[in-house]
Amino acid sequence: MMTLTVEYYFTHSQDKLGMYASDPEDNSQEHGHEFAELVIVEEGHGLHVINGRPLYIQQGDVFYVQPGDVHYYDELGTLKLINVLINPAVAFGYLQQMEGLLQQLSAQRAACYGWLAPETRSYCRELVEKIFSPALRAADNTPLRESLFFQLVTTILTAESEAEYSSTRYKLHKLLTWLQEHCFEEHNWQQLAEQFHLTTRTAFRHIKEATGLTPDNYLNVCGWSPRGSNYAKRR
């Protein structure tokens, strides 16, 4: 299995933070990391297979991949990612207990994935650009750089609580997350749509738009074993 290294992905091995904007075609091979990464789905949708479990991701999703996690991306579509890399071998200069905050976005469980509305996602992209701007790369700018990173993390963690509950896209995010956690159960689609304050027609249309799949096929994919017998046969 391939392991992505600090030496290759960070400008300097003593940097605490790095950034990598990618098309997942670059990461379609199963791999692990020497570093952690905070991932923002900038565009599109696709399949994120982590530690053997397939999870659908879509625009606005945010998750935290840790050293020791093994993952890859499949069914890629138009997926574009922003990856903020975090070097565990180097301590933050001013921040403490960041790991506990980041763990709340653990990629290992669908229920932990954050979601950003378009305006919040745009703001987070601006924060990332500032963090990695040439002006902030100097060592004497470490306090400002770390404060912007803290702002990024706290913005992500509070984004859902501030989301418009009347937003169809937010309701869809909650529905897809719930389905991934309950993919082996039987569902009454009309009752389920009502549970998330959607009409059945709206729920079906938006699931198709977000994942490229019908609702039943989406559930099947969530329950498959990736690159195992069922998954391989259906492709």
pLDDT of residue 69: 96
Q: Which of 58, 52, 51 is closest to 24 using CA atoms? A: 58
Whether the predicted pLDDT of 225 surpasses 50:
no
Residue ranges and CATH numbers for the domains of the chain are 2-141+154-159 (2.60.120.10), 168-234 (1.10.10.60)
Work out the end-to-end distance of the chain between its first and last CA atoms, rounded to an integer number of angstroms: 23
Contact by Cβ (8 Å): 173, 110 = no
**Distance between CA atoms of 191 and 193, rounded to whole angstroms?**
6
Cα 179 to Cα 40, 84, 147, 222: the distances in Å are 21, 28, 36, 8
Whether the predicted pLDDT of 132 surpasses 60:
yes
Range 158-166 average pLDDT: 71
Looking at per-residue pLDDT, the higher value among 56 and 33 belongs to: 33
Residue 26: pLDDT band (50, 70, 90) is low
Range 102-122 average pLDDT: 92
Classify 193 as helix, strand or coil.
helix
Backbone conformation region of residue 57, classed left if phi is above 0, alpha if psi is from -120 to 50, else beta: beta
Q: How many CB atoms lie within 10 A of CB 5?
A: 12
Which pLDDT tens digit goes with each residue over 51-104? 988 888 888 999 999 999 999 988 656 789 999 999 999 999 999 999 999 999
Residue 160: pLDDT band (50, 70, 90) is confident
Q: Which of 156, 148, 136 is closest to 94 using CA atoms? A: 148
